[in-house]
Structure 1
């Protein structure tokens, strides 16, 4: 049997084995998101069998992202092209939405290309052409352009992640990221879940922003980009 951990310690696995099961591929030992949805993957635990199953999900030129609290063991046959530390934060109190001069609008399939372009420009994290199907996304348009967006990513019973928060450089300094983050977190609370999120440990500005919204640090997380090892 695998080790017992808090779902928040392995949020990717918790999501892929529950509310995002329809977006997953893999087996009882390891799963990843469908390639058009996202690059995140997770082993059930750190057993040799689970790590081998994770390695089997990684194809050449198709890296996966692993995010978890436990130290990441690199499966045989894979290499880590990047490792980093992040922080996981949870909503410490009820977060309410705030009003502003620009309307917050829902985003969906019709906005997918613009969402991908904005995420590619600003790099809030892995974001592919169908990432928006992981949860509810909202945005603000200014002059017809998608100026900022935010949405939901990992989700399992009782918890939903705020993610994809980004603002086009032409519209920074207007508090759009703050407002959209609050909007998404408030929506999560309205559905009875606790909001959580991740940020790079070195991103002090983002951490300060989320603390000001009512999030508190839960723990550090480990992040690695795993690729199939090239044959000599």
Structure 2
């Protein structure tokens, strides 16, 4: 695989800045189960697949997010069952500097006390892998409406020099009001102020989300596969 951190973003995050959240010590790593199911491999060698199979046996179902072709057939021989896979678009921010920030009193920083509400919103809207402590990976912001968390967005993986924008979601009853756009600008500004490059992933068939990200300054960088793997019976 390429040495560019975004060409194998999960692996670079789990073996770099976010190694403290990693399970595994070989050529496959995954986040702690209460952080989320995302995993990465150093390459597609037999050794990496064997280490991935060991992670699955030890900790259960996981999700790879990698470029290239589906897992080789020999993965099945090692006890890896591919439950499902889908194509995602990886997008990187190329929009340049953002305009100066203006106060938005509706936007709040989310903390551990909000984790149950964040989990409920993620389960309802399915923005991608999200677990009880996903928000430990970076800062998250939200907008409340009538005391209910109506929308959120935040940061997830941190491969070298980059920060992933993640869990961008809005309650169905609050859509069409531009809440995600407002939150995204806050997240982007935070990442850019740290001197890092924002990037994100969206399902390839989610045209509405991709359109929003393009208008905010993201461009498609690559296509990647999200592959959910469990232990073969």
Report the 3-state secondary structure (helix = DSSP H, G, I; strand = E; otherwise coil) of the residue aligned with 2:16: coil
Could you say which residue in structure 2 is the equivalent of 1:5?
Answer: 3
Could you say which residue in structure 1 is the equivalent of 2:66?
Answer: 68
TM-score, with length taken from structure 2: 0.93
> Can you list the C-alpha shifts for 1:51-109, whole angstroms capped at 9, x where unaligned?
10011001389311000112232522011111111100000123537658652111111
The 8 Å contact of residues 94 and 186 in structure 1, kept in 2 or not, is answered as no
Aligned mates of 1:206, 1:215 — CA distance in 2: 11
Aligned mates of 2:4, 2:52 — CA distance in 1: 20
Report the 3-state secondary structure (helix = DSSP H, G, I; strand = E; otherwise coil) of the residue aligned with 1:59: helix
Report the 3-state secondary structure (helix = DSSP H, G, I; strand = E; otherwise coil) of the residue aligned with 1:156: coil
Q: Structure 1: which 5+ residue stretches go unaligned?
A: none
Q: How does 1:140-179 map to 2 (within 5 A)?
A: 140-179=143-182
The match for 1:92 among 91, 94, 98 is 94
The match for 1:32 among 16, 30, 33 is 30
Q: Structure 2: which 5+ residue stretches go unaligned?
A: none
Query: Aligned Cα RMSD in Å?
Result: 1.7
Once the 2 structures are TM-superposed, how far is the Cα of residue 157 of structure 1 from its aligned partner? 2.3
Aligned mates of 2:80, 2:95 — CA distance in 1: 41
The 3 A distance-change label for structure 1 pair 96 and 56 is same
The 8 Å contact of residues 92 and 199 in structure 2, kept in 1 or not, is answered as yes
Aligned mates of 2:169, 2:129 — CA distance in 1: 12
Report the 3-state secondary structure (helix = DSSP H, G, I; strand = E; otherwise coil) of the residue aligned with 2:60: coil
TM-score, with length taken from structure 1: 0.93
Aligned mates of 2:183, 2:57 — CA distance in 1: 35
Aligned mates of 2:8, 2:102 — CA distance in 1: 34
Q: Which runs of 4+ in 1 moved over 6 A?
A: none
Aligned mates of 2:201, 2:2 — CA distance in 1: 22
- The number of aligned residues is 228
Q: How does 1:124-139 map to 2 (within 5 A)?
A: 124-139=127-142
Once the 2 structures are TM-superposed, how far is the Cα of residue 123 of structure 1 from its aligned partner? 0.4
Aligned mates of 2:229, 2:105 — CA distance in 1: 40
